[in-house]
Amino acid sequence: MSVYDKLSSLGITLPPVSVPAAAYVPFVQTGNLVFLSGHIAKKDGKVWTGQLGAGVSTEQGKQAARAVAIDLLGTLHAAVGDLDEVKRIVKVMSLVNSVGSFTEQHLVTNGASELFAEVFGPEKGAHARSAFGVAQIPMGACVEIELIAEIG
C-alpha cells in the first residue's frame, strides 16, 4: 500500500506548507537527508495553545502532536514530491510546553511517533527521538516538533 493510500484510509489530507513565522525555511535537503524545521501544533487552523500540566491533558497533547505530524507530512511531501520516496523517518525532536512537574512529554510525543509508524510502516516509520519539556514555545503553542527523514 502506498503512503498516500494509507493516508487516505486514515482520512488524512495533507496540508500545504505553512509560511515561516520568522527568518528560516520550512525544510532543507542535503544529500539524501531532509531536515524539517519545527512545526507548532494547530487546531482548526489556529495555534493550539496551552501548557501540559496546566489545563492541557496528556491525551490532548498527544492529539496535538499527531496534528503536528500531519503538518510535517505535508511539508515533507512538498520537500520530496513523493512520500513513497521516503526510506526512513530518522529523527524526531519534540518540544512540549509544560509545567515543571509534568513528566509525560514522551507520551505526548507518541502522538507523532505512532502516526509515522502507521503511515510508513514499522521499519520506515521507527525513528530516534527526543522529547523535551520546555517553559514556552513560540505563540504559546503546546507542542513543536521537527523531523529528519532519509529519502531514496
pLDDT, residue 41, reads 98
pLDDT, residue 19, reads 84
pLDDT, residue 1, reads 85
C-alpha span between 86 and 150 (Å, rounded): 6
Strand partners, 43: 46
Which of 75, 64, 84 has the alpha carbon at shortest distance from 16? 75
pLDDT of 62 above 90: yes
| Contact assessment for residue 98 and residue 53, using Cβ atoms and an 8 Å cutoff | yes
pLDDT, residue 135, reads 97
What rounded mean pLDDT belongs to the chain?
A: 97
| Contact assessment for residue 132 and residue 94, using Cβ atoms and an 8 Å cutoff | yes
Given pLDDT bands bounded at 50, 70 and 90, which one contains residue 42? Answer: very high
Position 50, amino acid:
G
Give the torsion sign (CA, 4, 147, 57, 15). negative
C-alpha span between 68 and 54 (Å, rounded): 20
pLDDT of 134 above 90: yes
Grid cell of 31 as nine digits: 544529500
pLDDT, residue 81, reads 96
Given pLDDT bands bounded at 50, 70 and 90, which one contains residue 52? Answer: very high
pLDDT of 24 above 90: yes
Letter string b/e over residues 127-145, b meaning 16 or more CB atoms within 10 A of that residue's CB: bebebebeeebeeebbbbb
pLDDT of 21 above 90: no
Mean pLDDT of 69-84: 98
pLDDT, residue 18, reads 86
Phi, psi dihedral angles at 70 (to 5 degrees): -65, -45
Strand partners, 86: 151
Grid cell of 20 as nine digits: 515561516
